[in-house]
Amino acid sequence: MSGEVKSIKPYHTPIRMCVVCRQTSAKKTLLRVVRRPEKDGGGLAADPTLRANGRGAYVCASQECIQKAIKQKRFERTLNVPSAPPDLADALMAHCVAAPLSELSSGAAAL
Ligand SMILES: [Zn+2]
């Protein structure tokens, strides 16, 4: 056997999968939710830095996927926690750069 060498990309891009639509994207384009260590209080928290300690789950930076993830308890299931904090959706939305949905704008506080 000539030992085929798999080509290694010069720039490694970590790929993660959205817990809702199962689409894979570069990690930095997704939003991360982390299950915090018990000593930090446990529970789920948005992790905009992508580097917080604990197990992470990822979701597209889209309002659709965020809302589905919350509604369908994807983060809870993926990270095996009983419930997500009520402000998790807001925390994720705050980092969502997708085009805003008009239906949400009425309740959003404008700066
Ligand atoms: Zn998605």
Number of domains in the chain: 1
State the distance from the centre of ligand 1 to the C-alpha of 68, rounded, in angstroms. 9
Distance 58 CA to ligand 1 centre (A): 8
What is the domain-level CATH number for residue 73? Answer: 3.30.1230.10
> Is residue 47 in some structural domain?
yes
74: three-class secondary structure by DSSP: helix
Residue 78 lies in a domain: yes
Q: How many whole angstroms separate alpha carbon 19 and alpha carbon 15?
A: 13
| DSSP character at residue 50 | S
Residue 48 domain flag: yes
CA of 78 relative to ligand 1 center, distance in Å: 14
Name the band, by pLDDT with cuts 50, 70 and 90, for residue 105: very low
Cα atoms in the Cβ-side hemisphere of radius 13 Å centred on 12: 2
Q: pLDDT digit string (tens) for 44-69?
A: 999 999 999 999 999 999 999 999 99
Comparing CA positions, the residue from 109, 111, 21, 107 lying closest to residue 62 is: 21
Domain residues for 44?
Answer: 15-104
Report if residue 37 sits inside a domain: yes
Contact (Cβ atoms closer than 8 angstroms) between residue 72 and residue 105 = no
Q: Is the pLDDT of residue 70 over 70?
A: yes
Residue 82: inside a domain: yes
Compute the distance from residue 3 Cα to the ligand 1 centre, in Å. Answer: 37
Q: Residue 10 falls within a domain, yes or no?
A: no
Q: Tell me the CA–centroid distance for residue 19 and ligand 1, in Å.
A: 7
**What are the structure tokens assigned to 27, written together?**
């990690």
Task: List alpha helices for 3-110, DSSP H.
Answer: 63-71, 74-79, 88-93, 102-105
Average pLDDT on 66-75 reads 97
Cβ(67)–Cβ(89) below 8 Å: yes
